[in-house]
Amino acid sequence: MHDHPNPAAPATSRRTLLKAAGAAFLGASATLAGAGRAGAAATRNTADVIVIGGGFAGVTAARELKKAGLSSIILEARGRLGGRTWSTTFAGEPIELGGEAIDPKQPNVWAEAQRYGIATTSGGGLDSFVMPSGSGFTILSPGAASTRLAQLFTPFFDGSAALFPNPFDPFSGTGLQAFDQLSMRDRLNQLAYAPADEAWINGTTAGLSGGTSARGAYTMLAQSWALSGGTYEGYVSINTYGVQGGTAALLNAILADSQAQVRLNSPVAAVTTAGKTVTVLTTTGAVYVAPRVVVAVPVNLWKTIKFLPGLPAEFGAVSRAGIGVPNSKKIFMHVRGGAAGAFVAHPPEGFPISTTVPHSTLADGTRIIFCFSTDPQVTGTSVAQMQGLLSQLSPGIQVLATTAQNWGADRYSLGGWSCRQPGMLTGPYRTIQQPVGRLAFAGSDIASGWSGYIDGAVESGKTAARQVLAMSSAGDPVLVG
């Protein structure tokens, strides 16, 4: 590549860069009261590229840049990498508090698992489905429930193939402009389902949207349907496989390949471009400089970082509106017994928890299950509260313990899985996928294909690396990685 780092660069190049960085830093500190006291020694933090955010998007970008000969420093706000994926344990079992499932229909993440020889896992048995019925719930066989779910969901997605003929290019279809104005609620209303029928599917649309079906764009789900091959079976099958050793095993394999330096507990406060240098300032006062930067934090976090010069208006508008859904929680429960056995439940819109899924069965016959919630009143950490809710789904079930992650309240996510709002795709989306000067943006929130999935994060990390490599390097200072 024409902008490979040059290990033989004379020391003066580096001094020139650091001087320029100091000037840029002073510019940033003038607008960040009290944040400007980092010592000059901190400006030794240099690489060819600074990557802000150590989720799948950021780590993949660093790996791709390394393949092209460029060194990276990853600045990660939290004390761990992985972002909205988080491999941990509960009741002695490995669990994922965030993103978990990968699928062969998701070519970017699937290729990563294959590249590093990481095996996939699939879940255990299933006894029943618990579905809305009247003002309560009924327990059905998985076959009977799936047949009816397929019948109800399929018309919801009529026309998806025309909207997304090449589903990895979200702009390839016809009629997108009009459909993109629809919320999932608008689409449910268009189809005028009988109330009992709508109750079977509006819990899914509300959950994915972040609490109410009126929030999420219809095209978000229609694109997932098209990416899944346009069938209900394809759509539900994307939740079949997990990663052996957890998502952390896959992330760490990519990270090792990147040879990036990682700085944990380094929340970025300001990103200042001055001439050919980008200066990145953390809330702890550390300063990093590089000719190029990949911003791989959630879209909802863009508004918390001071960019100088400012980003185009679309970036701020989308960040304030939000793509990561509010109030999103993933809740794990250790349970015993219950009439429904190992069950999948799809409670209707308005019920305090949404999709509920079995995770594993322990040696003593107790089970780990998980559910999602976007209800602000549900903490997921109260055994009594979860007992009250689960008893309605599976009478006789006993909740022994719970753990939960509230991604909406997490200050380094400010939201959970991605779900664009009506008008975003055909409005600002193209703009926010593009680099701005020396900054490239990455993240599942702005992916072209599987936005809202690990696959989208990997895809966008690759895209951002390509964008960095395409940036003009003429006259740039030379850094030694």
Ligand X SMILES: Cc1cc2nc3c(=O)[nH]c(=O)nc-3n(C[C@H](O)[C@H](O)[C@H](O)COP(=O)(O)OP(=O)(O)OC[C@H]3O[C@@H](n4cnc5c(N)ncnc54)[C@H](O)[C@@H]3O)c2cc1C
Q: Binding site: what residues are annotated? A: 76-77, 268, 372
User: H-type helices in 328-470, by residue range?
Assistant: 383-393, 429-432, 454-470
Query: In this chain, which of 453, 464, 477, 481 binds ligand X, going by CB under 6 A?
Result: 453
Q: Which residues pair with 372 in a beta bridge?
A: 330
Q: What three-state secondary structure class fits 168?
A: coil
Eight-state DSSP code of residue 171: T
Binding letters toward ligand X, positions 1-40, x by CB under 6 A: ----------------------------------------
Beta-carbon contacts of 111 under 8 Å, excluding residues fewer than 6 positions away, are: none
Q: Any contact of residue 260 with ligand X (CB under 6 A)?
A: no
Q: Which stretch binds ligand X (CB under 6 A): 169-177, 190-198, 382-390, 413-421?
A: 413-421
Looking only at residues 160 through 219 of this chain, which bind ligand X when binding is defined by CB under 6 A?
none
Query: Which CB atom, from 154 or from 304, has the smaller least distance to ligand X?
Result: 304
Q: Which is nearer to ligand X, 89 or 151 (CB)?
A: 89
Going by their DSSP bridges, the two strands 287-290 and 277-282 should be labelled as: antiparallel
Query: Is position 412 an interface residue for ligand X (rule: CB under 6 A)?
Result: yes
- Residue at token pair 């009126």: 214
Binding mask 291-320 for ligand X (x = CB under 6 A): -----xxx--x---x---------------
DSSP conformation class of 22 = H
| Element (DSSP H or E) covering residue 371 | strand 367-373
**Closest approach of Cβ 330 to ligand X, in Å?**
4
Binding residue ranges for substrate:
372
Among 65, 250, 419, 454, which residue interacts with ligand X (rule: CB under 6 A)? 454
User: Which of 380, 416, 449, 481 contacts ligand X by CB under 6 A?
Assistant: 416
Closer CB to ligand X, residue 78 or residue 346?
Answer: 78
Binders of ligand X among 267-296, rule CB under 6 A? 267-268, 296
Told to check if 253 binds ligand X by CB under 6 A, we report no
State how far the Cα of 18 lies from the Cα of 125, in Å rounded to an integer. 59
Q: Which of 160, 413, 421, 463 binds ligand X (CB under 6 A)?
A: 413
Q: What is the distance between the alpha carbons of residues 454 and 443, in angstroms, rounded to a whole number?
A: 9
- What number of H helices and E strands is found in the chain? 16, 21
Q: Near ligand X by CB under 6 A, which window of 5-13, 183-191, 225-233, 414-422?
A: 414-422
The burial class, CB within 10 Å (0-12 / 13-18 / 19+), for 134 is exposed
Which tokens go with 69?
């000969």
With contacts defined by CB under 6 A, name the span among 195-203, 251-259, 359-367, 451-459 that binds ligand X: 451-459
Binding-site size, ligand X (CB under 6 A): 42
Maximum Cα interatomic distance, the chain, rounded to a whole number of Å: 77
Residue with smaller CB distance to ligand X, 94 or 275: 94
Binding flags for ligand X, 318-357, as an x/- string (CB under 6 A): ----------x-x---------------------------
Tell me how far, at minimum, the Cβ of 54 lies from ligand X, in Å: 5
Annotated binding site for FAD: 76-77, 268
Residue closer to ligand X by CB (options 428, 452) is 452
Contact between 213 and 188 under an 8 Å Cβ cutoff? The reply is: yes
Element (H, E) at 358: strand 356-361
Q: How many residues does the chain have?
A: 481
Read off φ and ψ for residue 89, nearest 5 degrees.
Answer: -130, 155
Residues from 40 through 99 that contact ligand X (CB under 6 A): 52-58, 75-78, 83-85, 98-99
- Tell me the C-alpha distance between 289 and 75, whole Å: 12
Q: What is the nearest approach in angstroms of ligand X to the Cβ of residue 129? A: 19
How many other C-beta atoms can be found within 10 angstroms of the C-beta atom of residue 465?
26
Indicate the residue type of 481.
G
Using the rule CB under 6 A, which residue among 252, 421, 444, 448 binds ligand X? 444
Phi, psi (degrees; rounded to nearest 5) at 445: -60, -25
Say whether residue 417 binds ligand X (CB under 6 A).
Answer: yes
Contact 73, 45 (CB under 8 A): yes
Residue with tokens 């990455």: 442
Q: How far is the CB of 435 from ligand X (least distance, A)?
A: 16
Query: Interface residues with ligand X (CB under 6 A)?
Result: 52-58, 75-78, 83-85, 98-102, 267-268, 296-298, 301, 305, 328, 330, 407, 412-413, 416-418, 443-444, 452-457
